[in-house]
A = this chain, B = another copy of it.
């Protein structure tokens, strides 16, 4: 069918006898906004799916790796250079997922601290932070199979939260315990005891490092919280475990 970029095929080898695909990378950019999980979407300006919201992405170039392509797209979309966490989590190639041609996309997950101001500064036609729940429950229809991609990304970050130290990527360089706890509570949809959470995080050194400073209390007042910054150990696994409580023995789990 379509010709491939023929670079030095062996004698007798004919590239056109193999199906040609376009390869794209899509980057699901997650962030915390207003206490709940949000995803950065862009509005498509052209066919197909013109006018619909979609996950930012673009074509992979032959001379770059998939990871490089994802980071390039992230930089072009948000201006962020070294994202805290850029992880590949899936490839999607169902026939017909793009009505024009055969496209296989490799999906990446990126976690940002506060994408709001950054997204506004880009020249993207239209970009917005959207509540993840609006996407997952179908309130907002996405182009292509992007709803499924977002769902898989959220599922992935739920697992990563326990296995690695993604949590600190959601908050700023300095943060309070309440902010960090809010990340876990929002993504897992659970409530954690503030005192126990604090103990788990501070227990062994290396997870968080207390700066001497204290945060300004919120509008409601209260004791000002200590400000921390992330330690090095977050790259190896997180201190908070998902509360598997609903087991209750017998059958569940």
Interface flag for A190 (CB, 8 Å): no
| Given known contacts A5-B20, A20-B21, A95 and B65 CB-to-CB distance under 8 angstroms | yes
- Is the contact region of chain A dominated by helix, strand, or loop, or is it mixed? loop
Q: How large is the interface on A (under 10, 10 to 19, 20 to 34, 35 or more residues)?
A: 35 or more
Chain B minimum-CB-distance residue to A3: B16
B7 and A101: CB pair below 8 A? yes
Interface centre among A11, A60, A102, A233 (most CB of B within 10 A): A102
Contact with B along A165-209 (1 / 0, CB 8 A): 000000000000000000000000000000000000000111000
Chain B nearest CB: distance from A68 CB in Å?
9
Chain B nearest CB: distance from A58 CB in Å?
5
Contact with B along A14-25 (1 / 0, CB 8 A): 011011111110
Cα–Cα, bound, A20→B103 (Å): 10
Interface flag for A124 (CB, 8 Å): yes
A73 and B204: CB pair below 8 A? no
Interface flag for A251 (CB, 8 Å): yes
For A1, list chain B residues within 8 Å (CB). Answer: 61-62
For A95, list chain B residues within 8 Å (CB). Answer: 62-65
| Given known contacts A21-B22, A251-B205, A101 and B15 CB-to-CB distance under 8 angstroms | yes
The number of times this chain is found in the oligomer is: 2
Chain B minimum-CB-distance residue to A247: B204
Interface flag for A211 (CB, 8 Å): no
Cα–Cα, bound, A77→B5 (Å): 8
Chain B nearest CB: distance from A88 CB in Å?
6
Interface centre among A73, A91, A251 (most CB of B within 10 A): A91
For A99, list chain B residues within 8 Å (CB). Answer: 8
For A4, list chain B residues within 8 Å (CB). Answer: 20-22, 56, 58, 73, 76-77, 101-102
| Given known contacts A47-B10, A57-B7, A16 and B42 CB-to-CB distance under 8 angstroms | no
22 contacts between A and B (CB under 8 A): A2-B15, A3-B20, A3-B58, A4-B76, A5-B45, A5-B125, A6-B46, A7-B102, A8-B46, A8-B50, A10-B100, A11-B47, A15-B101, A21-B21, A23-B93, A66-B94, A66-B104, A91-B106, A104-B106, A204-B253, A205-B250, A236-B253
**Chain A residues in the interface with B (C-beta under 8 A):** 1-11, 13, 15-16, 18-24, 42, 44-50, 56-66, 73, 76-77, 88, 90-95, 99-102, 104, 106, 124-125, 159, 163, 204-206, 233, 236-237, 249-251, 253
